[in-house]
Structure 1
Amino acid sequence: MDAPRTAQITPARDSHPAHADLACEVCGRYPEPPKVRLTLANVAAMLPIELAVHAAVVGTEWPLPLKVLLLAATTTALVIWVAEPSVRRLLRSWLHAPALRRRRALEVAPALWRARVTLPDMPGALERITRALAKLGVNVLSIQSQPVTGGVVDALVLSAPGGLTEDDLHDALAHGGGAGPRVWPTTPLALVDGPTHALSLAARVAANPAELPYAAAELLGAERVSADRPLDPEAVARGSILKVPASPEPLVLVRPGEPFTPAESARVSRLAELAEASALRE
């Protein structure tokens, strides 16, 4: 299936010039080129026009004021209507070359991804995953393992070459023996040490117990929903909905497609206990 998909995409790329991607998706305009390049291009376009107009007008026997007025009006009109638009169109690739180089550098720069995959609880399982990722030049920056029924859920932060896509990483995790792999783009914030992040959220809840719902959602990367909202039974069965007893009302967290692990349930329960203890002391 990969071959047909590539065959469909490649002609579309070839039919567009390299600078086409620089145009704004909203207004269609290109970024302002560097002043030096734009000046050189305008001079190269205006100089022949001005020389031709001067040669045609100066040799006439018209009064000097008329010559000056005619030269000024003619060259200005030709530059505005002909020279500058033509220069921006014909020399577009050269004018925007610096921006194109920066764009290409960004495209090949390493990108950060967050992945979650279930592995069998047996020796060598993680090694097979890392070997499959290494073949693509992907570096594993951090791993957090949580035991679940029938295996171990590994949460990974990956540094991948810029050319790799979500599908590439997903296939590598699956070929390495992982079950139910999921991949998301992420930011350097994902590299914050997990225990340090949890302690920071705990301190936030201890200082203000009302922060519990927001801290719990941030801790688990989930969304908070109202306790009286009807819940999808299938989502409950899959473990994508977590109910935590809390005061004054239960805390309900939803994370579609990413079931909560027992370790995560224990963490947020401890956070709720800390909030209750802090509220009783006030």
Structure 2
Amino acid sequence: MTDAVREPGVHVNACEACGRLPHPRRVRLALAKLCAVFPVELLLHALVIHFHASYLITVTVLTVTTTVLVIWVVEPSAMRLLGGWLHGPPGGEHGHLSTGQSLWRIRARVSDRPGQLESLAHHLAELDANILTVHVHHLDGGSLDELIVGACRETSPDALSNAVRAGGGHSVGIWPASALALIDGQTKALTLAARVAADPSELPLSIAELLGAQYVDSRVGDHPTAAACVEIPSGDGEPLVFVRPADEPFTPAEIARARRLGELAQKTRQMSEAGGRTSATPA
């Protein structure tokens, strides 16, 4: 099997010349180096023969020029110029390259019945949209599904929203998302828990990051009445208040995780105070 039709494997290292992934195929790499080196070598040999230099001078000139020009200048420059061809797919496969995707976070209320998620996935698949992660929050009278969906850049939010409604969803909310949204909630909560355990004063900002909400200092002013609001006990008397847009209500799972962070901060402070009293007690 020739190199031109061999399926490219998984390459860990990038190209040494231009840094692209994957590393170029061997046949193309050999042809690129030959195209870069051959004209220079031919010109140098022609010049040496033309001037009838001595054997020692000929060897020295060819060695130095080959090393400096070919290896350090000509070859890397040629490989950069031919980078698109070196790292491109085999001939005839350009039409099969996938286009870039946009990530969307979708929330929808759905009925709590078998096959509901399958119906959502089916209607999204008609738009070539793929469900990457899903979290189901069980509420009274149904469920709240939170999806991270990858779709073609040409797919509009309205088209995705209509597909979700056609799949049985209602009260649909859709927002642009980033790759950070693919981190599952449990991993994110554990990361923030480690931050709070190291410094309990990080609790307000950690909960705000966990919930994707804004922290409102109740000592400064009142929170907006038109926004979704949740209060989390802080262990210091006044609860911590967090708000976000009214069309993004807090789910029971989110509130439970935030409360656990508050309890962790309180336990950490108590242990720190107990340790301080112990160290202050004379032996």
- Rounded to whole Å, the distance in 1 between the matches of 2:132 and 2:109 is 18
Change (3 A) 1:196 1:244: same
Partner of 1:193: 184
Output aligned runs, 1:150-189, within 5 Å.
150-189=141-180
Partner of 1:230: 222
Letter in 1 for 2:242: L
Q: TM-score under structure 1 normalisation?
A: 0.58
Instruction: Give the share of equivalent positions with the same residue, in percent.
Output: 44
Unmatched segments (≥5 aa) in structure 2: 1-97, 273-283
- Rounded to whole Å, the distance in 1 between the matches of 2:218 and 2:139 is 26
Shift of the alpha carbon at 1:193?
2.5
CA contact (8 A) 2:128 2:151 kept: yes
Q: TM-score under structure 2 normalisation?
A: 0.58
Shift of the alpha carbon at 1:219?
0.8
- Rounded to whole Å, the distance in 2 between the matches of 1:117 and 1:200 is 27
- Rounded to whole Å, the distance in 2 between the matches of 1:273 and 1:226 is 19
Shift of the alpha carbon at 1:129?
0.8
Shift of the alpha carbon at 1:233?
4.7
Letter in 1 for 2:164: L
Q: Deviations for 1:186-212, whole angstroms, at most 9, x for unmatched residues?
A: 111111122111111111111110111
- Alignment pair present for 1:142 and 2:133: yes
Letter in 2 for 1:281: M
CA contact (8 A) 2:223 2:243 kept: no
Q: Secondary structure at the match of 2:147?
A: strand
For this pair of structures, how many residues does the alignment match? 172
Partner of 2:249: 259
Output aligned runs, 1:201-216, within 5 Å.
201-216=192-207
Shift of the alpha carbon at 1:131?
0.8
Q: Secondary structure at the match of 2:197?
A: helix
Shift of the alpha carbon at 1:128?
1.1
Q: Secondary structure at the match of 1:137?
A: coil
CA contact (8 A) 2:213 2:242 kept: yes
CA RMSD of aligned residues (A): 1.6
- Alignment pair present for 1:114 and 2:102: no
- Rounded to whole Å, the distance in 2 between the matches of 1:222 and 1:234 is 14
Q: Secondary structure at the match of 1:126?
A: helix
Shift of the alpha carbon at 1:162?
1.1
Structure 1 stretches of at least 4 aligned residues deviating more than 3 Å after TM superposition: 231-235
Shift of the alpha carbon at 1:247?
3.1
CA contact (8 A) 1:201 1:215 kept: yes
- Rounded to whole Å, the distance in 1 between the matches of 2:202 and 2:193 is 10
Change (3 A) 1:234 1:109: closer
Q: Deviations for 1:42-97, whole angstroms, at most 9, x for unmatched residues?
A: xxxxxxxxxxxxxxxxxxxxxxxxxxxxxxxxxxxxxxxxxxxxxxxxxxxxxxxx
- Rounded to whole Å, the distance in 1 between the matches of 2:139 and 2:190 is 24
CA contact (8 A) 1:212 1:272 kept: yes
- Rounded to whole Å, the distance in 2 between the matches of 1:267 and 1:147 is 15
CA contact (8 A) 1:205 1:271 kept: yes
Shift of the alpha carbon at 1:259?
0.6
Which has a greater percent of helix? 1
- Rounded to whole Å, the distance in 1 between the matches of 2:113 and 2:206 is 34
Q: Secondary structure at the match of 1:153?
A: strand
- Rounded to whole Å, the distance in 2 between the matches of 1:263 and 1:166 is 26
Shift of the alpha carbon at 1:264?
1.3
- Rounded to whole Å, the distance in 1 between the matches of 2:226 and 2:137 is 23
Shift of the alpha carbon at 1:232?
4.5
Unmatched segments (≥5 aa) in structure 1: 1-106
- Rounded to whole Å, the distance in 2 between the matches of 1:181 and 1:189 is 22
